C-alpha cells in the first residue's frame, strides 16, 4: 500500500487562500486537504505547527553545472539540486545548451546524462545557438524539441561570440516558433554594452569597481523594447528573464496592455531588489559580478510595486567558486553569476512579506505581497509557463506532493558557511532574514528535515514540459 503522510498543524497556502488545514499525502501525490486534526488511519504525521505550508519552489532559471564554452561552474547536479532542496526548491527548470553543430536531441541527451544525479525533479529549456536557416526546417526542429518535452528556448541579445543573436536571428527564430512554445530572452543591447566596456578598458578602468558601469541599465531597457517589438511582428510568445530595473518591468507591463502583443511575461531575481551597485565600490566587489549587473538605487526593481506584473522570482543561480571569481582581477574576465538557490525563498519572503509588514506598521504606504501571490511567483506561474502545472506548483489534490514547510518565526543571518554551494561566498553574507525552511517534501518523500538531507542522488526525474498555453498576463 502506498505510504500515507499527513502534514498537521500548519497554515496551508493554496492558489486562492491561506487556510488552517492538514494535508493528506498518499504515495507521491497530494490526496486531500483535511479539516485540522481530522482522523486518518495508518498515516505518519509531519509536524507543521506554527509553520506556513507552501508548494515547493519552482525555479525556472538556474544554471547548475554550467558550461558557457568559456567558463564552467564547479558544481554538478547532485550539488546543485542539494542546495536547491535546502532552500525549499523542489523543481528547477535549467538549460540544455546547443553547442554549434549539435541538433536539439543531441544537446538534450548530453544534458540529461549530466542531470542524472539530481535530488529533485527538473525540466529543461534549450539554449539555441544554431537553428537551421531554412524557415520550414527551423520550424520542424523546434516542433521536435517541443515534442521531446522542451517547450521553451533561450536566446541572448548579448555575449559575443558564443550566445549572441542579432535582430535577424531573433526574428527568424520567433517566426519559426510554433505558438505553443515560449522564448526566454536575455535582454541587454550588445552595442551599448560593448561601447561602455571598451571606453572603460581604454581608460584603464578594468577593476571590478567598474562592472556596473560597463553594462548600463539603458542597455537592458532598449533590448527589452526591441525584443517586444520583434516578438509582436513575428507573433511569438516571449518571457523576459532577470529584469534588473524597475523601468524594465514597466516596459513589459505597458506592452502587456497592447491587445496585439502576443503573450508576454517577465521575471526578476532577489539580487535585483535586495542589492544595489554600491557593492561595486565595496571590498568584496567580486561577489557581485553578474550580468545584468546590480543597479543604481534609483533604477532598482521595487518588488512591492511591480509583483503583479511578474510571473516569477527566479535566481539565475551560478555556482562559480571564489577562486574562479578572483583569478583575474578584471571585470571583463571574471565569470558572471551568483549562487542563489538556497536563499531565494527566504529573501523573497523576508522582503516581500515580513519587511513590508514592518514598513507598513511604521506608517509607510506599502502592502505586503499576499501569501497566495507569493506562491504564484515562486511556484505556480513558473510551473504554468513551462508546462508543469498542476503537477508542480500548487498544493492541490492530484498534484505532486512537493511541499515547503516554512517556519516564519526565527531570525536568521545568512552565512556562506551554512550554505551547500561550492562558491565559498554568498552575495547576501550577513543579511538578516525572517524564517527558515523546516521540512521539504519531494513527491511525498521527506527530503529536508531540520537541516538534514535524506534522499539519494538520482531520485530526481526529468519532467517533460507540456506545450506552452497562454494564461493570465
- Euclidean distance between CA atoms 242 and 247, whole angstroms: 13
CA dihedral 193, 168, 139, 178 (to 10 degrees): 70
Q: Which residues does residue 4 pair with via DSSP β-bridges, in sequence order?
A: 26
Q: How far is the CB of 337 from Zn ion (least distance, A)?
A: 7
Classify residue 363 by burial, with Cβ atoms within 10 Å: 0-12, 13-18, 19+. Answer: exposed
Q: How far is the CB of 95 from Zn ion (least distance, A)?
A: 8
Nearer to Zn ion, 222 or 316 (CB): 316
Q: How far is the CB of 163 from Zn ion (least distance, A)?
A: 10
Q: How far is the CB of 185 from Zn ion (least distance, A)?
A: 11
Nearer to Zn ion, 14 or 244 (CB): 244
Nearer to Zn ion, 72 or 198 (CB): 72
Q: How far is the CB of 338 from Zn ion (least distance, A)?
A: 10
Q: Does 94 sit near Zn ion (CB under 5 A)? A: no
- Please check whether residue 428 is in contact with residue 88, taking contact to mean a CB–CB distance below 8 angstroms: no
Q: How many residues bind Zn ion (CB under 5 A)?
A: 1
Q: How far is the CB of 289 from Zn ion (least distance, A)?
A: 14
Nearer to Zn ion, 24 or 92 (CB): 92
Comparing C-alpha atoms, which of 460, 267, 461 is closest to residue 378? 267
Phi-psi region of 76 (alpha: psi -120 to 50; beta: other; left: phi over 0): beta
Task: Retrieve residue 192's grid coordinates.
Answer: 551599448
Contact flags string 299-338 toward Zn ion, x per CB under 5 A: -----------------x----------------------
Q: Which residues does residue 6 pair with via DSSP β-bridges, in sequence order?
A: 24, 45
Q: What is the DSSP string of 132-194?
A: -SSHHHHHHHHHHHHHTT--EEEEESS-TTTTB--HHHHHHHHHHS-TT-EEEEE---HHHHH
Nearer to Zn ion, 22 or 316 (CB): 316
3-state class of 250 per DSSP? helix
Comparing C-alpha atoms, which of 263, 213, 223 is closest to residue 243? 223
Nearer to Zn ion, 76 or 94 (CB): 94
Q: What is the DSSP string of 323-334?
A: HHHHSS-STTTS
Nearer to Zn ion, 33 or 294 (CB): 294
Q: How far is the CB of 408 from Zn ion (least distance, A)?
A: 30
Nearer to Zn ion, 267 or 316 (CB): 316
Nearer to Zn ion, 163 or 210 (CB): 163
Phi, psi of 292 (to 5 degrees): -60, 155
Q: What is the DSSP string of 353-387?
A: IIHHHHHHHTT-S--PPPHHHHHIIIIIHHHHHTT
Chain length of the chain: 473
Q: How far is the CB of 63 from Zn ion (least distance, A)?
A: 6
3-state class of 206 per DSSP? coil
- Euclidean distance between CA atoms 276 and 288, whole angstroms: 10
Classify residue 136 by burial, with Cβ atoms within 10 Å: 0-12, 13-18, 19+. Answer: exposed
- Euclidean distance between CA atoms 468 and 60, whole angstroms: 14
Nearer to Zn ion, 316 or 400 (CB): 316
Q: b/e per residue, 186-204, with b = 16+ CB within 10 A?
A: bbbbbebbeebbeebeeee
| C-alpha count within 13 angstroms, C-beta hemisphere, residue 141 | 24
Q: How far is the CB of 62 from Zn ion (least distance, A)?
A: 8
- Euclidean distance between CA atoms 126 and 117, whole angstroms: 20
Nearer to Zn ion, 155 or 285 (CB): 155
Q: How far is the CB of 61 from Zn ion (least distance, A)?
A: 6
Residue number of the CB atom closest to Zn ion: 316
Q: How far is the CB of 291 from Zn ion (least distance, A)?
A: 8
Q: How far is the CB of 10 from Zn ion (least distance, A)?
A: 33
Contact flags string 267-306 toward Zn ion, x per CB under 5 A: ----------------------------------------
> Which residue ranges make up the site for Zn ion (CB under 5 A)?
316
Amino acid at each position: 500500500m502506498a505510504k500515507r503522510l499527513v502534514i498537521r498543524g500548519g497554515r496551508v497556502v493554496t492558489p486562492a487562500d491561506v487556510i488552517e488545514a492538514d494535508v493528506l499525502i498518499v504515495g507521491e501525490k497530494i490526496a486531500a486537504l483535511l479539516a485540522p486534526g481530522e482522523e486518518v488511519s495508518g498515516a505518519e504525521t509531519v509536524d507543521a505547527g506554527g509553520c506556513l505550508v507552501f508548494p515547493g519552489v519552482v525555479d525556472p532559471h538556474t544554471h547548475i553545472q554550467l558550461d558557457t564554452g568559456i567558463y564552467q561552474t564547479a558544481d554538478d547536479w547532485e550539488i546543485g539540486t542539494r542546495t536547491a532542496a535546502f532552500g525549499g526548491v523542489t523543481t528547477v527548470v535549467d538549460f540544455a545548451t546547443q553547442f554549434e553543430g549539435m541538433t536539439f536531441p543531441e544537446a538534450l541527451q548530453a544534458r540529461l546524462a549530466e542531470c542524472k544525479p539530481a535530488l529533485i525533479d527538473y525540466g529543461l529549456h534549450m539554449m539555441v545557438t544554431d537553428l537551421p536557416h531554412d524557415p520550414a526546417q527551423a520550424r520542424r526542429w523546434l516542433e521536435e524539441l517541443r515534442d521531446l518535452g522542451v517547450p521553451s528556448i533561450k536566446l541572448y541579445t548579448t555575449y559575443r561570440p558564443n550566445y549572441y543573436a542579432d535582430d535577424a536571428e531573433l526574428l527568424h527564430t520567433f517566426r519559426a516558433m510554433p505558438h505553443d512554445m515560449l522564448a526566454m530572452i536575455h535582454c541587454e543591447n550588445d552595442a551599448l554594452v560593448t561601447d561602455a566596456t571598451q571606453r572603460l578598458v581604454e581608460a584603464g578602468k578594468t577593476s571590478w569597481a567598474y562592472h556596473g558601469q560597463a553594462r548600463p541599465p539603458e542597455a537592458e531597457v532598449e533590448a527589452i523594447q526591441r525584443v517586444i517589438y520583434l516578438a509582436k511582428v513575428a507573433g511569438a510568445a516571449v518571457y523576459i528573464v532577470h529584469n534588473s530595473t524597475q523601468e524594465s518591468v514597466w516596459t513589459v507591463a505597458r506592452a502587456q496592455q497592447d491587445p496585439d502583443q502576443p503573450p508576454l511575461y517577465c521575471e526578476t531575481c532577489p539580487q535585483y531588489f535586495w542589492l544595489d551597485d554600491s557593492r561595486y565600490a565595496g571590498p568584496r566587489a567580486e561577489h557581485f559580478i553578474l550580468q545584468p549587473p546590480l543597479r543604481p538605487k534609483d533604477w532598482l526593481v521595487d518588488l512591492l510595486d511591480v509583483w503583479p506584473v511578474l510571473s516569477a522570482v527566479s535566481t539565475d543561480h551560478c555556482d562559480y567558486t571564489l577562486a574562479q571569481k578572483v583569478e583575474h582581477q578584471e571585470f571583463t574576465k571574471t565569470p558572471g553569476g551568483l549562487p542563489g538557490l538556497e536563499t531565494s525563498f527566504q529573501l523573497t519572503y523576508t522582503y516581500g512579506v515580513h519587511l513590508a509588514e514592518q514598513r507598513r506598521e511604521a506608517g509607510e504606504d506599502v502592502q505586503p505581497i499576499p501569501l497566495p501571490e507569493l506562491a504564484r511567483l515562486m511556484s505556480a506561474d513558473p510551473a504554468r509557463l513551462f508546462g508543469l502545472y498542476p503537477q508542480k506548483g500548487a498544493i492541490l489534490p492530484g498534484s505532486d506532493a512537493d511541499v515547503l514547510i516554512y517556519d516564519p518565526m526565527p531570525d536568521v543571518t545568512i552565512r556562506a558557511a551554512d550554505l551547500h554551494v561550492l562558491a565559498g561566498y554568498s552575495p547576501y553574507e550577513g543579511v538578516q532574514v525572517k524564517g527558515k525552511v523546516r521540512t521539504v517534501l519531494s513527491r511525498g518523500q521527506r527530503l529536508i528535515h531540520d537541516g538534514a538531507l535524506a534522499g539519494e542522488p538520482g531520485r530526481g526525474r526529468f519532467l517533460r514540459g507540456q506545450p506552452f498555453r497562454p494564461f493570465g498576463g
